[in-house]
Structure 1
């Protein structure tokens, strides 16, 4: 009998690590003035900051319908993370932009992630963490900003 963990444990441990990091991030964001941030919002704000400027663009990037993207935009607009304005080239379209509050949330998220990584390095050791990151780079696609997780989780 093998002393290796069962195969199903690997994805669950990877997901648990993701969950621990994201939960800690959002607790700290709440303490720093962003109590309305939700895990899904991070994907949306990243997509918008990388050029998904309309509900159609955003839906395509996130792997969700235009309607689902529109609902996410409305939710983010209500809590002040994005704003919509008419497209000067096509008044039928609305351009979505991050507000100062949305930009602040992304900047604080980056700082918090750096602090969490530093804590992991202290716990695991810098070399072990670098090796873990290198191994994950080997086993995953090169596109770090693949943001279609919302659609993938939703089964769309």
Structure 2
């Protein structure tokens, strides 16, 4: 029988292996500076953009920490700050074409990585694994605040 501590370690190792492979491929495809925490932030920006305060709430970090992340992503060319059309006192953070590109490439790479798991384990088994995880993960289990939870 497996020890209880093994399950979270195996789940994390699986996550880590996928993320490491994603970032290696992204680097080869012209995105060498993007980091795992950046992916959470770019997802939190979303299609419609967000203020720094909204980003902080979505990521589970302070507005100041979100602002630092935005500064870094802006320097790397993934986001831009623009005037909020609904409130001239606020700035919106929006994805640039480079930001959209890295998210699009990430989706394609994740599909390819999942296909490798299917090749190794079989489609039925991977489908069952995903189903089983959905059954035990809370409904709001896929949250963008993981970077903040890890203390980043």
Q: Does residue 22 of the first structure (1) align with residue 4 of the second (2)?
A: no
> Any conservation in 2 of the 1:52–1:58 contact (CA below 8 Å)?
no
* TM superposition score normalised by structure 1: 0.93
> Any conservation in 2 of the 1:54–1:94 contact (CA below 8 Å)?
yes
CA deviation digits over 1:78-104, x for unaligned, max 9? Answer: 000000012233333111000000000
> Which runs of 5 or more structure 1 residues have no equivalent in the other structure?
none
> Any conservation in 2 of the 1:25–1:109 contact (CA below 8 Å)?
yes
Q: How many residue pairs get matched?
A: 152
The DSSP-based 3-state class of the residue aligned with 1:5 is coil
CA distance in 1: counterparts of 2:151 and 2:141, whole angstroms: 20
> Which runs of 5 or more structure 2 residues have no equivalent in the other structure?
none
CA distance in 2: counterparts of 1:144 and 1:84, whole angstroms: 30
What RMSD, in angstroms, separates the aligned Cα atoms of the two structures?
1.4
CA distance in 1: counterparts of 2:143 and 2:49, whole angstroms: 13
Which residue number corresponds to residue 53 of structure 1?
A: 50
CA distance in 2: counterparts of 1:11 and 1:110, whole angstroms: 25
Which residue number corresponds to residue 88 of structure 1?
A: 85
> Any conservation in 2 of the 1:52–1:61 contact (CA below 8 Å)?
no
Which residue number corresponds to residue 41 of structure 2?
A: 44
CA distance in 2: counterparts of 1:85 and 1:26, whole angstroms: 28
* TM superposition score normalised by structure 2: 0.95
CA distance in 1: counterparts of 2:53 and 2:63, whole angstroms: 5
Q: Does residue 137 of the first structure (1) align with residue 138 of the second (2)?
A: no
CA distance in 2: counterparts of 1:121 and 1:10, whole angstroms: 21
Which residue number corresponds to residue 106 of structure 1?
A: 103
The DSSP-based 3-state class of the residue aligned with 2:92 is strand
